[in-house]
Amino acid sequence: MQIIKTEIEGLLILEPRVFEDSRGKFIKIFNDDFFQKSSLDITIKETYFSLSNKDVIRGMHFQTPPYEHVKIVYVPYGKIIDVVLDLRKDSPTYGKYYSLTLSDKNAKVLIIPKGMAHGFKSLEDNTNVTYMQTTGYAPENDEGILFDSFGFDWQCSNPKISQRDLSFLALNDFKTPFVYGESK
């Protein structure tokens, strides 16, 4: 695996080795020994996935302290534009976002540190987005930022968005509980 740093501290892209032959592909997404040697102390507590059709936008989601988590995201089938928004108070990139394409073709994996909101737009029908997290789901700490309130262009004239996601506060109205330097 190769680790690529982004301009948002702690937000990492993994490029795993892809083994491909006439049978198909084999990709190792998570290897604890590699993570430990790379100073990525990540203990997975929960794994789940979503299936989304084209132009579905999910996000921008996060959990507040003490149930904030590191999240590992990858796409075993389909294609998304993935978006991460820095919510850490006093971070040099507070309020800034990072986006990239994740797909079954490029096999990239995103490691999202604590203090980030996460969302995506599905670019294909039946896209599977899989998440591994360092904490379990805590409904009382489950929050989000309104998807169109921080300057990202989703390039979608008629997105499919849940009522819950439409009810989130805009970034400018959100009082962040996350502190820069506590994101590991």
Residue 122 confidence (pLDDT):
98
Q: Is 74 a residue whose pLDDT tops 80?
A: yes
Catalytic residue numbers, as ranges: 61, 131
Has residue 179 been placed in a domain?
no
Q: Which pLDDT score is estimated for 42?
A: 93
Residue 67, in any domain of the structure: yes
- Which CATH number is 115's domain given? 2.60.120.10
89, 59 Cβ separation under 8 angstroms:
no
In-domain check, residue 178: no
pLDDT band at 121 (very low <50, low <70, confident <90, very high): very high
Give domain status of residue 183, yes or no. no
Q: Is residue 73 part of a domain?
A: yes
Q: Among 6-20, 131-145, 170-184, whose mean pLDDT is lowest?
A: 170-184
- Residues 177, 64 contacting (CB under 8 angstroms): yes
Q: Which domain holds residue 63?
A: 2-173
Domain count for the chain:
1
Indicate whether 117 belongs to any domain: yes
Quickly state the pLDDT bin for 41 (edges 50, 70, 90). Answer: confident
Query: Does residue 181 belong to any structural domain of this protein?
Result: no
CA dist 104 and 122 (Å) reads 13
Query: How far separated are the first and last CA of the chain, in Å rounded?
Result: 20
pLDDT at 59 over 80: yes
- The DSSP bridge pattern shows strands 24-27 and 18-21 to be antiparallel
Residue type, 105: K
Looking at every residue in the chain, the average pLDDT score rounds to 95
pLDDT category at 183 given cuts 50, 70, 90 is low
Portion of the chain with pLDDT greater than 90, in percent: 90
